[in-house]
A and B are shown apart, each in its own frame.
Chain A
Amino acid sequence: MLEIKNLHASIDGKEILRGINLTVNAGEVHAIMGPNGSGKSTLSNVIAGRDGYEITQGTVTYKGENLLQLKAEERAQRGVFLAFQYPVEIPGVSNIYLLKAALNAVRKYQGLDDLDAIDFLTLVRSKLELVKMDEEFLHRGVNEGFSGGEKKRNEILQMALLEPSLAILDETDSGLDIDALKTVSDGVNALRSSDRSIVMITHYQRLLDYIVPDFVHVLSEGQIVKTGGKELALELEAKGYSWVNKNA
């Protein structure tokens, strides 16, 4: 699904990713943990195709294609999805308009017609239920006046609708209370399948109680310094990030 080899990325001449190697196969769930500033969001942005990063070395391959030469929208249309750490508020664009435009963009790439209004609404309603969101949210501006938890749920709603092949969740758990965390996790778990991969970026072990990963990686100063199974997260929680740095 995703193969990252020796990826180096800088911004304004400052190197932030310093040789990332990561292979994610179809059906796997990977967790990437690491202290603030270690480069987690940078890695997600580079995979999703944000402009402004300079890739100085390395490759990113997605379903056999060189991901780095595709535009952000082309990646999205091919099934790459990023749930943002800080979802943006866009007054003036209604949630339902966004969902429709996004779904139709993906369907167009797949050679499918736009969904008609009734089928679309039926589909959206089923996804709203999954993330326990009220229909009223559809008619508000994107994330406009949403609480932190509602914003994160809205990201999962978009993901559930678009059914990506590769989902990157950038600290989707941070700022959630336990109920919201459970709802969001249920939403993610419902999407787990043998042809879909999930990369969860998180600061805390707690999320991994709900979404159990196949692999855990520790990112530190732009490099993956340790990889293990889900027990690595517990060890990390107990000993702190300084433990990995010392062992690196």
Chain B
Amino acid sequence: MPKSKRLTELATPFASVVVELEQETSFVKELRGNALAQFNSYGLPAKKEEDWKYTSLWGFSQQQFSHQAIPHTVSQAQTEQLALLKQAYRVVIVDGVFSNELSQIDNLPTGLTVSSLAEGLASVQSHLGGQINIEKAGFNALNTMLMNDGVVITVAKGINIEQPIELLVINSGATENLATHLRNVIVLEENSQVTVIEHYVGLSDIQYLTNVVTEVVLAKSAELTHYKLQQESENAFHIATLAASQAAHSQWKTNSISLGAKLARNDVHTQLLGEQAHVVMDGLYLLNNKQHSDFHTRIDHAVPNTTSEELFKGVIDDKGHGVFNGKVIVHKDAQKTDSNQQNHNLLLSRNCEIDSKPELEIYADDVKCAHGSTVGQMNEDHLFFLRTRGLDEVSARNLLTYAFAVEVLERIPAGDIRKALSAVVEQRLPQGGQ
């Protein structure tokens, strides 16, 4: 595609920013170099591209982003308050930089390593970049060029880690238009288990960019339970790729709850590469004001006998705009694939918008692939029923909105995490009604 048709003319000359990790290997240098070449020839995705049809980056491309954070401290007490979980190993990143002081990863059990990108990279280098595509994928290229921090988590063979790990990524609000490019790598060896929560929080209402890539590698029979809670500032750009590859009998359960940011784009992708691999890919987006959220999901059933379950729900109010595009690809010979994808949306205002599109590509013949996509308004019969039981209209609407969203939360196993996420969602639902 010719250069001029893409958003290469950016206000921020990303290509001139130089990032280097401590003791950066030639392997990483080479990755950066390739990414730069890709970015230089393709730039950011343009609206003409099918994958970006409903999400315009025009406003984004006009911003002057900075790569120099003004130093700012966040206190231990503050992180304590912001954290979703009290009982967890905690990794804290402030304004794009791993904080040793605020992180609580001192007494890790045998078989678990949690470290900053620079520190942990050597142990996972062979996986770095393996789960993502940087060709014609501007943000992934940008992330690879400029990744400056993040977290590396590894779990050794046969180890089951009981306590969850919370990755708390804070934007302090100290630096106007700060751009951070984080890379997380999570590697589970055979038969290991762990729970990881990615948690993004903005402390102000300034504009900034979080551009994050999380790569997940699950060896045979590994089980990763993964949550992502996105509570960026109301003027933030949050661009994320979450990509996994799964070996035989592995299980990945991921649930993304998207509440913040002015523009949030999430690409969630897994490749089921071994038989009996299973993925549960869920998500919830709550949008109001002029928020824009775009989830692009993709599940590759690459071999026979793999299964996927996907449920995304959206509650859209005011002038919010939601996008859901769910690709399920059943590759040739991937017989006995069983996949179910559902996307349901509740529209609470006349001015909001939703584009929901299931995309099934099936190249095998003996498969079960179900999908459903709905867009609806508040059910008047339900509303009337609740009012005849004495609930005022606003309470009834709020209750029904919560009832719609709660299905996604109910798929989380009962316990502290579900409780904490439910509380956050409840707080974020419309109060005061229309």
Complex-state Cα separation, A51 to B234, whole angstroms: 37
Which residues in B have their C-beta under 8 angstroms from that of A29?
A: none
User: How far apart are the CA atoms of A73 and B393 in the complex, in Å?
Assistant: 8
- Enumerate chain B residues within 8 angstroms of A158, measured Cβ to Cβ: 389
- Is B52 engaged at the interface, CB distance under 8 Å to the other chain? no
A105 and B388 form a contact (CB under 8 A): no
A11 on interface, CB distance cutoff 8 Å: no
When the two chains form their complex, are residues B400 and A50 in contact, meaning their CB atoms are under 8 A apart?
Answer: no
Chain B 376-434 interface residues, beta-carbon cutoff 8 Å to A: 379-382, 384-393, 395-396, 399-400, 402-407, 410
Q: Is the CB of B390 within 8 A of A105?
A: yes
CA A101 – CA B387 in complex, angstroms?
A: 11
A-B CB contacts (within 8 Å), total count: 72
A88 → chain B, closest Cβ, in Å?
A: 5
Q: A101-B395, A101-B399 are in contact. Are A90 and B390 (CB under 8 A)?
A: no
Min C-beta distance of B404 to chain A, whole Å = 6
Q: Measured between alpha carbons, how far is A235 from B395 in the docked complex, in Å?
A: 47
Residues of chain A contacted by B406 (CB below 8 angstroms): 92
Q: Is A121's CB within 8 Å of the partner chain B?
A: no
Binds B, one of A55-63, A76-84, A209-217: A76-84
Q: Is A93 on the interface with B (CB-CB < 8 A)?
A: yes
User: Which interface residue of A48, A72, A97, A141 has the most chain B CB atoms within 10 A?
Assistant: A72
- Residues of A within 8 Å of B381, CB to CB, are 88
Q: Which residues of B contact A97 (CB under 8 A)?
A: 399
Residue of A nearest to B395 (CB): A101
Contacting pair B393 A81 (CB below 8 A) = no
A162-B403 contact in complex given A88-B382, A101-B395, C-beta closer than 8 Å: no
Minimal beta-carbon separation of A170 from chain B (angstroms): 11
Asked if A37 is at the interface of the complex by the 8 Å CB criterion, the answer is no
A115: min CB distance to chain B, Å: 14
> Interface on chain B toward A: helix, strand, loop, or mixed SS?
helix
Among A71, A90, A101, the residue within 8 A (CB) of B382 is A90
Given contacts A101-B389, A101-B391, contact A72 B384 (CB under 8 A): yes
Interface centre among B379, B381, B384, B404 (most CB of A within 10 A): B384
Shortest CB distance B419–A (Å): 15
**B380 to chain A: which residues have CB within 8 Å?**
51
Contact B385 A102 (CB under 8 A): no
Q: In the assembled complex, how far is the CB of residue A47 from the closest CB belonging to chain B, in whole angstroms?
A: 10
Judge whether A81 and B388 touch: CB under 8 Å: yes
Among B379, B386, B388, B395, find the residue whose CB has the most chain A CB atoms closer than 10 A. B388
Report the count of interface residues on A (CB-CB < 8 A): 29
Q: Indicate if A98 sits at the interface (CB-CB under 8 A).
A: yes
Minimum distance in angstroms from A72 CB to a CB of chain B:
4
Q: In the assembled complex, which residues on chain A have CB atoms less than 8 Å from the CB atom of B386?
A: 98
A243 within 8 A of B: no
A88 to B396, CA, bound (A): 14
A48 B388 Cβ-Cβ under 8 A: yes
B407 cross-chain contacts in A, Cβ below 8 A: 91-92
Is there contact, CB below 8 Å, between A162 and B388? no
Q: In the bound complex, do residue B389 and residue A76 qualify as a contact, i.e. CB atoms below 8 Å apart?
A: yes
CA–CA, A238 and B394, complex, Å: 49
B393 touches A105 (CB 8 A): no
* Residue in A93, A106, A141 with the greatest tally of chain B CB atoms within 10 Å: A93
Q: Tell me if B390 and A73 are in contact (CB < 8 A).
A: yes
Contact B390 A109 (CB under 8 A): yes
CB of A49 within 8 A of chain B? yes
Contact A71 B390 (CB under 8 A): no
Q: Are B388 and A82 in contact (CB under 8 A)?
A: yes
Q: Is the CB of A50 within 8 A of B391?
A: no
User: Which of B385, B392, B399 sits near A88, CB closer than 8 Å?
Assistant: B385
Q: In the complex the two chains form, is A105's CB within 8 Å of B392's CB?
A: yes
CB neighbours (8 Å) of B399 from chain A are 93, 97, 101
Residues of A within 8 A of B402 (CB): 92
The digit string for A131-175, where 1 denotes a CB below 8 A from any CB of B, is 000000000010000000000000000100010000000000000
Across the interface, do B387 and A72 meet the contact criterion of CB distance under 8 Å?
yes
Query: In the complex, what residue of chain B is closest to A48 when comparing beta carbons?
Result: B388
Please, which residues of chain A bring their CB within 8 A of the CB of B392? Answer: 71, 73, 105
Residue in B387, B403, B405 whose CB lies within 8 Å of A73: B387
Distance of A246 Cα from B349 Cα, bound (Å): 51
Give Cα A68 to B399, complex, Å.
26
CB nearest to B399 among chain A residues: A93
A50 CA to B387 CA in the complex, in Å?
Answer: 9
Cβ–Cβ < 8 Å partners of A93 in chain B: 399-400, 403
Q: B396: which A residues are within 8 A, CB to CB?
A: 73
Q: How far is the CA of A88 from the CA of B386 in the complex (A)?
A: 10
Distance A91 CA – B404 CA, assembled complex (angstroms) = 8
Which 5 pairs show the lowest CB-CB distances between chains A and B? A92-B403, A105-B390, A72-B387, A102-B389, A76-B390
User: B residues near A, CB below 8 A?
Assistant: 379-382, 384-393, 395-396, 399-400, 402-407, 410
Interface positions of A (Cβ within 8 A of B): 48-51, 71-73, 75-77, 81-82, 84, 87-88, 90-93, 97-98, 101-102, 105-106, 109, 141, 158, 162
* 12 cross-chain CB contacts under 8 A: A50-B384, A71-B392, A73-B392, A73-B393, A77-B390, A88-B379, A88-B382, A91-B407, A97-B399, A101-B390, A101-B391, A141-B403
Since A71-B393, A90-B403, A97-B399 are in contact, a sample of 16 more A-B pairs with Cβ atoms closer than 8 Å, ordered by chain A residue number, is A48-B384, A71-B392, A73-B393, A76-B387, A76-B388, A87-B385, A88-B382, A90-B400, A92-B405, A92-B406, A101-B395, A102-B390, A105-B390, A105-B391, A109-B390, A162-B390
